[in-house]
Homo-oligomer: A and B are copies of this chain.
Amino acid sequence: MLDATSSYKPTGSRSSPYETGQSIVPETTRRADRLPGNRYGNRPTMKDVAARAGVGLKTVSRVVNGEPGVTPDTERRVQEAIEALGFRRNDSARVLRKGRTASIGLVLEDLADPFYGPLSRAVEEVARAHGALLINGSSAEDPDREQELALALCARRVDGLVVIPAGDDHRYLEPEIRAGVATVFVDRPAGRIDADVVLSDNYGGARDGVAHLIAHGHRRIGFIGDMPRIHTAAERLRGYRAAMRDAGITVEERWMSLGATNPERVRRAAQEMLSGPDPVTAVFTGNNRVTVTVIRVLAEQTRRVALVGFDDIELADLLQPGVTVVAQDAAALGRTAAERLFRQLDGTLLVPERIELPTRLVTRGSGELPPAD
């Protein structure tokens, strides 16, 4: 069955992105030899099946797609040819002809962040329910990389795009959207274009969380958040300010620290506001990564410092004290966004909308500690 001249390279793959050089491995041990000899290593096509079954191309297409109008006998012959040849329909070719690719793209920040796991799973579930595949990639919080990825997905002609923005200018997507690519932004709003957006109530959640600390007697409350150019960070800071203002508390500059969420920076920021003559008695942390680091810093303190964090974290209930958080529903964010995407696709959606999902305050102990002084 094997053709000695068969090559593992599909015809014309010389410029494949993967090729790094010539192999010097003896031909006899190469995986290449596993390839069937038909057509220089290529797979059988409908044409091959048609030839073998002695029928026309269209008849094979009918059988493969389960269309009616084929006699049982013809169908059997085609099926046999399919089996014998190991034919599998090339959906890329199919899709080129049909117009839609039944795939959607997801551009997120970092797959390894526990917040995005449930979100992407939810997007995937909805895609699956609509018969679509998910192509995804991470921007690593880099606006250029976000754009590069989103446009690469558009070039693959995904039917729609779910984007967790890293950048704040998405005008580069305008031609794509006009050309029919359904687009929904999640977690953070789109920048400078009019598009569907699904967000958590970052402002209200932070405000409630901080108000909770105030209700337990705190006045000197710190805020440690992500870089201010990130929308969620700015909104949560705004919520913090609002709660403080509502309580008649004048916020001091040194109580607030926005910046990268790497442990070193967060640790320094926390230590600064916890030292000096009038240290904060409570901290509000702006996201899960910040919360985790601050928990570590607080564990080293002799004083008891209250803490409320934005985003829930695993095992938060088992720490001493349990960690009080403002929880977002990451799965609901993903699900809502994906469902909206498919409603755009089936044409039932009209004008871009901004959807805000509520947050939930989960009290576990750390947010109910009284001020230490």
**A interface residue numbers (CB < 8 A to B):** 8-13, 15-21, 23, 25, 29-32, 34-36, 41-43, 86, 88-93, 95-103, 110-114, 116-118, 120-121, 124, 128, 130-138, 151-157, 159, 175-180, 292, 295-296, 299, 313-315, 318-320, 331, 342, 344-351
Kindly list the 5 A-B residue pairs having the minimum CB-CB distance in the complex, ordered from nearest: A10-B99, A17-B131, A86-B175, A91-B155, A111-B121
**Given known A30-B350, A111-B121, A350-B25, contact A179–B100 (CB-CB < 8 A):** no
Inter-chain contact B136/A35, CB cutoff 8 Å: no
* B111–A124 touching, CB < 8 Å: yes
Q: Which residues of B contact A100 (CB under 8 A)?
A: 10, 13, 16-18
CA distance A103 to B134 in the complex (A): 12
A154 to B92, CA, bound (A): 10
Most buried by B among A10, A114, A156: A156
Contacts A/B (CB < 8 Å), 10 sampled: A17-B100, A18-B100, A21-B346, A29-B350, A35-B179, A86-B175, A92-B101, A111-B120, A124-B138, A133-B137
Q: Number of copies of this chain in the oligomer?
A: 2
Q: Return the contact of A31 from the options B13, B155, B159, B344 (Cβ within 8 A).
A: B344
Q: Which residues of B contact A9 (CB under 8 A)?
A: 99, 347
**A295, B316: Cα distance in complex, Å:** 12
A112-B117, A295-B315 known; A98 vs B133 contact (CB < 8 Å): no
A31 to B: closest C-beta gap in Å: 6
Partner of A155, one of B20, B90, B313, B315: B90
A134 interface neighbour in B8, B36, B137, B313, Cβ under 8 Å = B137
Tell me the bound Cα distance from A120 to B101 in angstroms: 23
CB-contact partner of A17 in B112, B130, B296, under 8 A: B130
18 additional contacts, CB 8 Å, given A17-B102, A23-B347, A121-B138? Answer: A9-B347, A10-B180, A16-B99, A17-B130, A18-B346, A31-B344, A34-B177, A88-B154, A92-B92, A92-B156, A111-B117, A112-B117, A112-B121, A114-B117, A114-B314, A134-B135, A295-B318, A296-B318
